[in-house]
Amino acid sequence: MPKHSLNENASSKLFHNPAMVIVSSFFILILVGTLLLMLPICSRSGEATPFLNSLFTATSATCVTGLVVYDTYTYFSIFGQCVIITLIQLGGLGLVTLTSFFYLIIGKKMGLRTAHLAQESVSSDEHINTTHLIKMVVVLTFLFEFVGTLILFTQFVPRFGAYGAFMSVFFAISSYCNAGFDLLGMNGEFSSLISMQDNPVVTFTIMALIVCGGLGFIVWQDIYNYRRRKRLMLHSKIVLITTAILIVVGFIGFLIMEWNNPRTMGNMDILGKIHHSLFQSVTTRTAGFNTIDLDGMTEISKLISIVLMFIGAAPGSTGGGMKITTMVVLLMTVISIIRGRTETIVLRRKVDKIIVYKALAVASLAGMLVILTTAILLLTGDAKSGINALFETVSAFGTVGLSVGVTGQAGLISKIMLIITMFLGRVGPVAFALSISLRSGSKLTRQVVPEGKIWVG
């Protein structure tokens, strides 16, 4: 076969692999963001930012994580902050989603390949009206961010003037996209929302935006269609019920563990403890803001945070993590096996075995990535304890951005590993594996081979 035919065949496979296109779009966006952030105009000092730190910041923004090596307010200029919030918006929605939206706006009909790409970018399938979903994703995003901006205006503009208007937009986008970047460094570098902990308008607005962004676009479309169909899909029920359960469980856990801790909530009144326990539970769902000193939390609270961050938000949302549905499928598979069933049953519905296999693959790959990155943070000595190393790693994988101080003192190797972990946490370990397999699409193939016996357990 001629050499050029082989090259064309490989290019065709690459071009028709939705996972590869999505992964590549994030990679290109990060690269462009890195080059922009390196420009002297992006820093307040007027000096060029080192490549690795620019790459780290661009990755964190594009992957809507929030881990930072520089305080966003004190280090970056207005132009640099605009670059960061643009990366957050594009990364939160996904470049493919936005491209598909503008494709529809100019009146062009989606082809099969474009529709497949759009479905992959929002974790949808062929049974959902992709055209309507893409339009709803973008419109709903801008609507939530606009309402959030208006509410935050009332708090930031009187206090910070014209810059407060920019802060309102920045926080609304960062919150809805579950990014965790903030502009309150003037009240203390890397202090996040600690200076606003007594302002419930700000904190509750941010909590609402975090939850709305973390539910996923498919759930919002299903809620919109509820008035016509009078029922919700199994996916939406799982996401809504589990989200509520995780927030309540996290809230109770933080309230109990931090009640008498003088480094966090010990000196607050009862309402303050309830307020910040709830905020901590919501923000660990992949958002990355904090109103208390995270390094001062008890070990059990850090462990609760790790579990919540690892689970993450819903598929097709602006959040990261292993995903709520993955956790539920695995948990119900275990329960079904214990009950002697051969099928996974969730809310009286049978789950396809392919979904179970995919959930197992996601959890396994995520677990291996977290173990590897944690080990490297410990080996390099950049984390002072195992729990802190695990906390920072899971925060990166879950695209959360909460930090106990490890990122700020991380060396070259640790930063590179955190960059890789953030990237894989955003695009998904399975999607990344599919993207490099050069397979067309993400369908699993059935292979006929002799059956073998293995004993487990």
Check whether 7 has a pLDDT greater than 60.
Answer: no
Nearest to 299 by CA among 250, 251, 258, 255: 258
On whether the CB atoms of residues 32 and 55 are closer than 8 A, the answer is no
Tally of CA atoms within 13 A in the half-sphere of 163 that contains its CB: 10
Tens-place pLDDT, residues 64-78:
899 999 999 999 999
Query: How confident is residue 342, by pLDDT bands cut at 50, 70 and 90?
Result: confident
How high is the mean pLDDT of the chain?
A: 85
Tens-place pLDDT, residues 125-137:
555 566 677 777 8
Given this model, what pLDDT does residue 1 score? 47
Given this model, what pLDDT does residue 418 score? 95
Tens-place pLDDT, residues 192-216:
999 999 999 999 999 999 999 999 8
Mean pLDDT on 309-320: 87
Q: CA torsion angle for 401, 304, 377, 437 (degrees, to 10)?
A: -70
Nearest to 398 by CA among 457, 330, 314: 314
Structure-token pair, residue 98: 């936005």
Given this model, what pLDDT does residue 137 score? 80
Given this model, what pLDDT does residue 121 score? 47
How many residues does this entry show for the chain? 457
Given this model, what pLDDT does residue 333 score? 94
Q: Quote the pTM value.
A: 0.87
Check whether 112 has a pLDDT greater than 50.
Answer: no
Mean pLDDT on 330-352: 90
Percent of the chain that is helix, strand, coil (3-state, to 5): 65, 0, 30
Q: Where are the domains of the chain?
A: 18-436
Interatomic CA distance for residues 322 and 368, integer angstroms: 12
Tens-place pLDDT, residues 272-307:
999 999 999 999 988 889 999 998 999 999 999 999
